[in-house]
Amino acid sequence: LGERALQTLHHETGELLQGFGPFAKGAETFVDVHLTLRPGLSLAGRVMNLRGSRLARLQYAKCRSKHLLELWVDHLALQASGRAPATSTLVARDKNKVPNLFCLDPLSDDLVTNQAEAIKHLEMLVQIMQRGSHLPLPLFPETSRAYAHAITSDPESAAKQAAGRNKAAQAWSNHNFATGRPGGDSVDPAIKRLFEDTLPYEANFTHPGLPPDDDLSFHALSQQVWGPLLNTLQTLKVSA
């Protein structure tokens, strides 16, 4: 039994390493980024896993929303720093354990436009983070991503939004076959404490701690955070 598990692990890691091969040339480096997003708002940090001019990461774990968001923020930071436009890549397994390349393209081939767009997106994300520090924003890792993915081709279509809410419901509450327990964003203790037994992805959702602001709706926040990311994301199978 142990030998079979080891063979499976060897096969899976071999496929991931094969997919990462084109990015593994040269030493891994990092860059410290100091950005002024607007007067009075700055952002500083270190972006790891650089290979030449590109950001390239490898992980055995499945690619979840948090991994894409981490890649997206670092990708934006690099583009906003004025570096030459470049693709950022994560090599990881998808939900079916199949090795994939998750690639984020530059926002523009033009250096100035690429930098300006990246700064705009970072500023928006920081503003959402600041508001989320004192408001119960209906923004969730898997649920918001599932909804945004379903509406990305036509965000204002009522039919797309209805389909998106069906996808959101599946991500909000499901069965985790690996653990045999309930899964989804709704079982997260922090989320459960804030939202209890409500369905925050529904169109008529309200919360006593949330002002009636359309910009803070589940629809708007999902689109603001995930829309730009999904528009630049390419998912490619690792070639055998």
Q: What is the pLDDT of residues 8-20, one digit of tens each?
A: 676 678 888 888 8
| Predicted structure pTM score | 0.91
Residues recorded for the chain: 240
CB 186 within 8 A of CB 168: no
Compute φ and ψ for 65, nearest 5 degrees. -55, -40
Mean pLDDT within 74-85: 95
Residue identified by tokens 């994939």 is: 100
Which letter does DSSP use for residue 55 in this model?
E
Mean pLDDT within 52-76: 95
C-alpha 72/C-alpha 103 separation (Å) is 10
Cα separations in angstroms, 12 against 66, 91, 202, 213: 22, 12, 39, 46
pLDDT value, residue 220: 96
pLDDT value, residue 240: 60
Which tokens go with 163?
Answer: 């389909």
List Cβ neighbours of 206 (8 Å cut-off, separation of 6 or more): 212
- Tally of CA atoms within 13 A in the half-sphere of 236 that contains its CB: 13
Q: What is the pLDDT of residues 145-204, one digit of tens each?
A: 999 999 999 999 999 999 999 999 999 999 887 778 899 999 999 999 999 989 999 999
Mean pLDDT within 96-101: 88
Query: Of all helices (H) and strands (E), which one includes residue 90?
Result: strand 88-93
Q: Give the Cβ contact number of residue 83 at 10 Å.
A: 20
Q: Are strands 88-93 and 54-62 parallel, antiparallel or unpaired?
A: parallel
Residue 24: pLDDT band (50, 70, 90) is: confident
pLDDT value, residue 1: 57
- In one-letter notation, the amino acid at residue 226 is W
Mean pLDDT within 101-125: 96
C-alpha 237/C-alpha 56 separation (Å) is 16
pLDDT value, residue 25: 82
